[in-house]
Structure 1
Amino acid sequence: MSANPKVEELHSYEVFEQIKRFLIKKEQKSMGTRKSYETDIKIFFKLIKNKELQFLTKEDVNLTLDDFEDFINYYQQNKIYSNKTINRKVSAVKGLLKYLKVKKLVEDDLSYFSEVTSLPEKRNSYGIPTVDEVLKWAELALLETHKPKEKRLLILFSLDTCIRKSAALRLKWSDIVLQDGYVKVSGIDKRNKEFRHEISESFYNELLTIKHDSEHVFEGITVDMIDGMMERLKLKTNIDPNRNIVFHSIRKAGGTFRYKASGGDIIAVQRALGHSDPKITEIYLDETTSNAMGAVSSINNIDKELFKKVPHEILLKVIDELSQTEKYLLNKKINDLIK
């Protein structure tokens, strides 16, 4: 520590100002990103230096490998956070130190970062609802006390476009453009990636019913409100907790529907979900998108001419018992043949 209190106070002010600049850069992505970084950095320095951010000095931000190892070991041993959360907090601090080094506030060599080992993470295994379940939730959302119409349309919009809830909540009316015969939706999603989707004009007209003087499409809806709504909807529809259904699951349902509707085009689904790696896309697809048995076994076990032999009323009854997705695919095929 500096022996001169005035010098230390000056350094403290300088460090805090640069931390604020760093957070402002993160805010350019979203306010949620900034808050996440700020919280993670606060927690790190509170444990390692026992200081709030505004009191950090140059000496405090010149960290060592031991500091990172102490942080990781403490939270892993006490099981306060998951490995994924610990990794995120460490990553946030490393990002800050790189920024402060450019600003000449970190003097130490950061090559030791390569020795800061990430903890193994479990992949989120969120369940995938059926389209019918999602449509049911959309109608039940109309019974919500606060902004029921907005919540219903948010559910339908997520199913239709497969975008994340954070991107949907940032969506502005200016991001939706009516063009020749279709409606273009564009915006910024996770990791600053641009997304582009198309929705029908009829669905766009539905969205316009909630447009008032607001800039954002889903004005007044927050992440906490969405999460709370999902808990209520799951209770009303008796969703098994073991299925691990969350709002993000609706995005998976939308991806699975596109997979079936496109005849198994994984690339089309990959584009819709905004994934760089098709292997990630495969994780999003419902297990029921593939048969339990192979083609030969399936053909041998089922009479492929059976639909021609059953009475018409049985065929209609079977069709009536299909899911909304299956009915859509059947009607789409009929429509294509008529054309």
Structure 2
Amino acid sequence: MLPQENVSQLNDYEVYENIIAFLDEFDQKTNDKRQNRNMEKSNTRISYQKNLREFFKILLNKDIEHLKEDDLNFKKRDIISYRKHLQQSGNSNSTVNQKMASIKSCMVFLNSEHNVNVSAFELKRLDETTQSYGIINQTEAELFAETAFQTEREKQYLKKMLILVAIRTSFRLDELLNLKWNNFEYVDGVYKVSIRGKRNKLVSNAISAKLYNQLLELKEINKQSKWNGDPEIIFQISTESVNRMMNRLRKKLNIDSERNVVFHSFRKVAINWELETSGRVDKAAQQGNHSSIDVLYKNYIDNTRDYTQAAGVRMEEEIDLGFLDNLTVEDFKEFIKQSGYKVQLDLVNYVKNR
């Protein structure tokens, strides 16, 4: 017979071991399907484990390694409160549904070995068609980045760069938080970045060499920071910390709550910028890694309509250009400097082709 203290130690890890057994099933199914005998970790396992760690950390402030059977005694109000927390943290309804489904699945599995109130996890799915995140322009978005750098108490530079890279790549937060240095590749003077994203789809985009060199400064900064995860991760920060940062920044910048500006709003910036400057929906869809233009139009393009700018109204307008005679060369230069990208690009093309 084992000594009593050893029995106690084994029992302390029983819940954790059963969670690992639950996760191992996903690896088994994936590797059987691929006829792979090396038992590689599946993407489903990685996603479920992340969701479970987040769940127990937020509700109990515990890592899954330290769970005991008493920790599994949840009431329905606890689960409803957790789901509300996920929504308020900027997760889409579809993401919340996915997270809750993975947690419920694990609890059903654990109920065979422990006393789990599975009925507490019987919640109706959230409507996935009604939620739309707020849209901000490039100037506003970059103000978020600068405000984070100037006012945040911890990891100021990391937070600034996280926002800037989000604006330029249109990547989702979970994709950004999984980025490693080897995800970047130097191509034709810019840096291509690729990662597995939603539904295991490979998403790619690019940032300038200038921004990449600024990002490289994080390598040394990260070495001096506390981080328990993979040291090759670029943005060494949790989803929860990012959501709390967004709450603070919205208050500092007096962003009206009705605008529903969340971190996901940064994903929309370059998509709308592309559409505004080039007028090409296909390039905007490319920027957002969208396979469907319908999804792009419904969820990412600014559909707010200014009726004074309707084509039928503007067709009737006549622009009086008589004021041009009174402008100086310096007036024109100042106008061009303050103009948007499209005006400046039109001027460059005009000079080239005249």
Give the alignment's TM-score, normalised by structure 1.
0.67
Indicate the residue corresponding to 1:179 in structure 2.
187
1:322–1:37 Cα change, 3 Å? farther
1:137 is aligned, of 124, 144, 155, to 144
Could you state the TM-score of these two structures normalised by the residue count of structure 2? 0.64
1:330 matched to 2:317: no
Q: Could you say which residue in structure 2 is the equivalent of 1:256? A: 272
SS in structure 2 of the partner of residue 310 of structure 1: helix
**Counterpart of 2:11?**
none
Pair 1:224-2:257 in alignment: no
How far the C-alpha of 1:167 sits from its partner, in A, is: 0.8
Cα distance in 1 between the residues matched to 2:347 and 2:240: 43
Cα pair 2:26 2:44 within 8 Å, conserved: no
Shift of 1:331: 1.2
- Describe how 1:90-105 pairs up with structure 2 within 5 A: 91-92=101-102
What SS class does the counterpart of residue 130 from structure 2 fall into? coil
**What RMSD in Å do the two structures reach over aligned CA positions?**
4.4
> Structure 1: 5+ residue runs without aligned partners?
1-11, 42-51, 56-70, 100-104, 106-115
Tell me which of 314, 322, 330 is aligned to 1:298: 314
2:194, 2:101 → 1: CA distance?
A: 29
2:340 maps to a residue whose letter is K
Alignment of 1:145-164 (within 5 A): 145-164=153-172
The answer on whether the counterparts of 1:159 and 1:254 sit within 8 Å (CA) in structure 2 is yes
* Alignment-mate amino acid for residue 141 of structure 1: A
Q: Following the alignment from structure 1 to structure 2, what is the Cα–Cα distance between the partners of residues 180 and 86?
A: 39
For 2:22, which of 19, 26, 34 is the aligned residue? 19
What is the deviation of 1:128? 0.6
Count matched residues: 284
C-alpha separation between the residues in 2 aligned to 1:80 and 1:124? 18
| C-alpha deviation, 1:338, in angstroms | 2.5
- Among candidates 214, 235, 250, match of residue 234 of structure 1: 250
Contact preservation (8 Å) 1:260, 1:289: no
Deviation at 1:197, TM superposition (A): 0.9
Offset, 1:121: 3.6
Distance (whole Å) between structure 1 residues aligned to residue 194 and residue 322 of structure 2: 49
Q: CA deviation at 1:123?
A: 2.7
Find the aligned partners of 1:150 and 1:79 in 2 and give their Cα distance.
Answer: 30
Q: Distance in 2 between matches of 1:206 and 1:176?
A: 14
Deviations 1:34-54 (A, max 9, x none): 23267889xxxxxxxxxx998
Letter in 2 for 1:194: L
Which amino acid is 2:183 matched to?
D
Q: Deviations over 1:11-48 (max 9, x none)?
A: x999866413136677635845423267889xxxxxxx
Partner of 1:287, secondary structure, is coil
> Which consecutive residues of structure 2, in runs of 5 or more, have no partner in the other structure?
1-14, 31-40, 57-66, 85-92, 113-122, 224-230
Give matches, 1:251-290, under 5 Å.
251-263=267-279, 265-282=280-297, 283-288=299-304
Deviation track 1:69-104 (CA, whole Å, cap 9, x = no partner) reads xx9xx78xx89857868854675489779x9xxxxx
1:198 aligns with 2:211: no
Q: Which amino acid aligns with 1:334?
A: L
Once superposed, which parts of structure 1, at least 4 consecutive aligned residues long, lie more than 6 Å away?
12-17, 38-41, 52-55, 93-97, 314-324
What's the secondary structure of 1:211's corresponding residue? helix
